[in-house]
Amino acid sequence: MKNLFKKVTTALLVVFVATSCDVTDQTPQQSLPSETVLTTEQGANSTLAGAYSAYQEVIEDDYVFTELAGDYAGHSGSFPSWASVDQYNMLPTNAEGRDMWIEYYNLINIANNLIANVPDIDEEGFSDAEKNQIVAESKILRALAYHSLVRFFGGLPVITTPTTSLGEESFVERSSVSAVYDQIVTDLEQAESTLGATGSANSRNATGYTAKALLARVHLYQGNYEVAEDYATQVIDSGEFALGTYEGLFGNTPSTTEPIFRLEFTSEDDNSLSFFARPNGYGGRREYAPSGSYTSAFASEDLRAAINLQDFDGDGQSELGKYFELEGNDDVIIIRLAEMYLIRAEAQGLKDTPDYAGVASDLNMVQRRAYENQDPSGGPYTTDYAATDFTSDQEVIDAVMYQRGLELAQEGHRWFDYKRLGMAANQFGISQDMTLWPIPQREMDSNPNLEQNPGY
């Protein structure tokens, strides 16, 4: 999105490595074939830096369009392609769907090249452990890409080997949603096995704890509640992460140890999340804005409101404010500890033998951080959840959705939460077909083996 008018033209011709980020302290290379780049340790690290750059390019679109499709933000600008997302009127020719597909498959292809070629690099001093680290990080990035794509589009072509031409070998059929998830889980499990219990708070590279946290998320999506609970617990109990202040999570100088994995942005290598949220004349163009249901969802004492909603121009009208640096140098959080508590709360409530005390305890961990009204004597908050609040799946879902909506808004969750719980069609008054985006027309035209999603 920061390069809105400079999109990648193809994802499958070369090992495309975009210039920008400094994630691995290596200079990313520019559009070089694997036989040239992936023969040295420096080339491997530069290509990995390029993979993180490719993820930077697409994560902003991912987060914005997830918000637009949900109920806590609406289109307030002039881009018709954005309005189509907000109005559930996506067409196969929509530029946003096309670019999302291209950019994520670009990332996948970079990861595929790293996974295939790095183990064979024969260079003195480039250890197997270092090679394995690069391959494991690449598998995590590939899993993130496939998880975003499957949530937007449904079944996908699953490509796990480098693609260097657009011949018939590139005409891959769509796999089922379950098969895509199988690949995601395989990548994350292999990365976790390689990396183990490694990583610390605010890591700007994917780590072993990133893999564990993402496995908790992915298993929740699949309804594997006990497995999701177990992975979330491993991260929570690691001692590496803690719930600090909510406001300390965001901006370019984080003061909390909650984030498990965050993407780095700088003033020179910026994101545009604040630009598209700020009003015209105040550094932005207010292309999307909070909905009334969002601004009214916060209790008066909820500290999250002051971060998530900001009045940049002082006119009394709120803007989406979680990413608020005008220079665009906010780091973008991919996954953090509060999500682990919310995943575990939901999993404990929806598993075969529910643990409603566990649900209440985890929800309270997240909510208490957001409130100021703790009893000075050390007693419970007046708004604490109790095990007796829950007697059914729906009561658990309602409480978790409320807390996820306030805690994780603008971080790429709301629309997908409605979808994974089977609530999107009713919530938004649309057909079930419209809960998936159409396969981009560009892909349909170039790959005769693709089938379009129903309803398009």
Q: Report, as an integer, the average pLDDT of 126-153.
A: 98
Question: Measured between alpha carbons, how far apart are the two ends of the chain, in Å?
Answer: 25
Q: What is the pLDDT of residue 168?
A: 55
Other CB atoms within a 10 A radius of the CB of residue 189 amount to 15
Contacts of 268 (CB under 8 A, 6+ apart): none
DSSP states along 26-72: SPPP-S--HHHHTTSHHHHHHHHHHHHHHHHHHHHHHHHHHHHHSSS
Q: What Å distances lie between residue 219 and 125, 200, 256, CA to CA?
A: 38, 23, 27
CA 176/CA 318 separation, integer angstroms = 41
Task: Examine the pLDDT at 380 and tell me if it is beyond 90.
Answer: no
Cα 103 off chain centre by: 14
Output the six-digit token pair for 147.
């998880």
Q: Is residue 272 classed as helix, strand or coil in its secondary structure?
A: coil
Structure token pair of residue 157? 């072509």
pLDDT tens per residue, range 387-411: 999 999 999 999 999 999 999 999 9
Going from the C-alpha of 148 to that of each of 100, 107, 182, 199, the distances in angstroms are: 9, 12, 14, 23
pTM score of the predicted model:
0.92
- At position 307, the amino acid (one-letter code) is I
In angstroms, what CA-CA distances link 313 with 144, 332, 370?
A: 36, 23, 25
pLDDT in tens, 321-337: 999 898 999 999 999 99
pLDDT at 456 over 70: yes
- Which pLDDT belongs to residue 189? 98
pLDDT at 375 over 90: no
Length of the chain: 456
pLDDT in tens, 419-447: 999 999 999 999 999 999 999 999 999 99
Average pLDDT, the chain: 90
pLDDT digits (tens, 9 = 90+) for 328-374: 999 999 999 999 999 999 999 999 999 999 999 999 999 999 886 55
Given a cut of 50, whether residue 23 has pLDDT beyond it is no
Q: Which range is least confidently modeled, 19-28, 30-39, 149-158, 164-173? A: 19-28
Confidence category of residue 13, pLDDT binned at 50, 70, 90: very low
Rg of the Cα trace of the chain? 21
pLDDT at residue 252 in the model: 77
- Give the number of C-alpha atoms closer than 13 A to the C-alpha of residue 160, restricted to the C-beta side: 13
Task: Give the model's pLDDT for residue 255.
Answer: 87
Mean pLDDT, residues 249-260 taken together: 88
Q: So what's the pLDDT on residue 186?
A: 98
- Interval 236-246 mean pLDDT: 95
Average pLDDT over residues 146-164: 95
- Give the model's pLDDT for residue 169: 54
Domains (range + CATH), the chain: 1-174+413-450 (1.25.40.390), 196-349+360-375+398-412 (1.25.40.390)
Lowest mean pLDDT among 28-32, 52-56, 130-134, 271-275: 28-32
Which residues 6+ apart lie within 8 Å of 123 measured at CB? 39, 40, 41
Q: Compute the distance between CA of residue 148 and CA of residue 401 in angstroms, rounded to an integer.
A: 20
Tell me, what DSSP letter sits at residue 280? B
**Nearest-10 Cα torsion for 336, 339, 341, 346:** -160
Tell me how far CA of residue 401 lies from CA of 130, 220, 248, 323, 439, in angstroms.
41, 14, 23, 22, 29
Calculate mean pLDDT across residues 54-64: 96
